[in-house]
Amino acid sequence: MSAPTPEEFIQRALAVGIADRRSVDRALADLGSEERGLSDVIELLQRHGILTTLQCEKLTRGDKGGYFYGDYIVQYLIGAGTFARVYRAQKGEEVFAVKVLRKRFRDEPKEMEQFLREGRMGLKLKHPNIVRILDVVPDVRNPFLVMEFVEGQTLRELVRIRKQLPVELALKLTMEISAGLAHAAGLGISHRDLKLSNVLISSAGTAKLVDFGLAALADRNNPEQVADCPNARAIDYAALERGTNVRKDDPRSDVFFTGNMLYHMIAGEPALTETRDRLARLNVSRFQEIKPISEHVPDCPGIVSQLLMKILAYDPEKRIQSAAAMRIEVERVLETLKKGPTERKVHDTTGTVNAADVGDDQVVTNEGEGYVVMLVESKANLQNAVRERLKARGYRVLIIADPKRALARFEDDIENPADCVIFGAAELGNDALEAYNQFVTDEKTAEIPAILLVDQRQGHIISRAKRGPNRVLLPLPLRVKQLRVALMQLLANIEKRTPGMF
């Protein structure tokens, strides 16, 4: 089809009702008597705010419809998905977002009902961190939802531009997302499709959840319908829930995928590898083999690493149990970071193990901030377990597999490389014992706290290990809480290091 003449273009705009003759003539007066081409007329009408780019494209093609939905004048396309498009639209002086079901689904009763159910459900969600649905228009030819228009961008766009967000900003946005999810959960509604593109960031910097479309499928009387939904967006949720043997609409799934977004904001890439391969997405190893955040962000605060471990726990019983609880946890971590380093409470140093000193193991803390711990251990799994759990509590952890090299570090360095050394005897055996005993007796290291991890069956090591006020023997298999108690007691009177200096 050939392009219209300038006058044909203007007549089309008048015919469909998106412009009036007086406004057009007033704008054209700027051209005076000059000969005007189509591009000149389009540029002029856009500059005067009479037509938008989308409207001009449709008029140039000769489209007869798609300019109005009810009383709402379509201005721009602001989002497009598999099932619907979202437009910026105007009614009077107010601006709205209009979500329209794609034409190919309007003759599908199932898709139509899901779309309208999403709208009716959204009418109940009235929260500052959820994009409001204001009206549902069930026109069989042009069904659409009228929504709050949010000036801003998606969280995916923000992360793409900035690569990695500052930790405090990522936590603040996660706290707002959690607040929106908690409100929905209070009404029996979960999201079921949490990802960066379904979070809008307003121009004021507020996070707002959008697209509860899959939640509309969550018929609790027919839970199989959720997991077996053909919609590809449900695959990740289905894989997690089947792999952990929980119901198909478990609210802790939204917690997990919120954690995936938090991880992505901080690391610049998601915790879950992204792929379009359906079989790969159904493989539960994706959820079990998440790299520690410290591999992407070495200086990520331990308290944040620990929070992510709890949110992204594969075992749903070890995961934070609700969006409301997650909001509280995230807020607590954010407040802790804003306060900066705090003075340590002096703990009992008599050697008595007091579990109350470390509180609930499930509570996020930053007790190790300002301390460096060296682990002398050759077993990779024990190295990883101790490192990640202590880093999550704020400690900096150095790993050395050779006991002799570990001792040499204290001889060579002007400043002590660690505030406490943990020797593992499970595999190193007598080598660990000899290094531990030498560490205890050498003048330069005698005052530095040390811990020996030993299997109770290694009686010869236990009997020969030197004891002292700043020496502790802990049994293997290791209980993390017991190690935390020992460290807090041993380091109680050791001055913290200045942040950024170790």
pLDDT score, position 168: 95
In the numeric block, the tokens 């005897």 are attached to 425
Rounded Cα–Cα distance for residues 324 and 119 (Å): 24
What residues form DSSP beta bridges with 94? 91
Residue-by-residue pLDDT tens, the chain, 502 positions: 688 999 999 999 999 999 999 999 998 888 776 677 899 899 999 999 999 999 999 999 999 899 999 999 999 999 887 788 999 999 988 999 999 988 888 888 888 888 888 888 889 999 999 999 999 998 878 899 999 999 999 999 999 999 999 999 999 999 999 999 999 999 888 888 899 999 999 999 999 999 886 554 444 444 444 334 444 447 889 899 999 998 877 889 999 999 999 999 999 999 998 888 888 888 888 998 898 898 899 888 888 988 999 999 999 999 999 999 999 999 999 998 888 765 444 333 333 334 444 444 556 677 888 899 999 999 988 888 888 888 878 888 999 999 999 999 998 766 789 999 999 999 999 999 999 999 988 988 999 999 999 998 999 999 999 988 889 999 998 888 889 899 998 998 888 887 554 4
User: CA 315, 316, 318, 321: dihedral to nearest 10 degrees?
Assistant: 170
Tell whether 99 is in a known binding site.
yes
Name the token pair of 424: 């593992």
Rounded Cα–Cα distance for residues 140 and 350 (Å): 77
- CA distance readout (Å), 475 to 3, 5, 207, 378: 83, 87, 47, 17
pLDDT score, position 350: 39
What residues form DSSP beta bridges with 154? 200
Sequence-distant (6+) residues with CB within 8 A of 241 are 227, 247, 248, 250, 253
pLDDT score, position 341: 60
Answering whether pTM is above 0.75, one says no
pLDDT score, position 221: 44
pLDDT score, position 428: 94
What residues form DSSP beta bridges with 77? 87
Strands (E), 81-203: 84-91, 94-101, 133-137, 144-148, 152-154, 199-202
User: In a 3-state reduction of DSSP, which class is residue 154?
Assistant: strand
Is 261 within 8 Å of 269 (Cβ atoms)? no
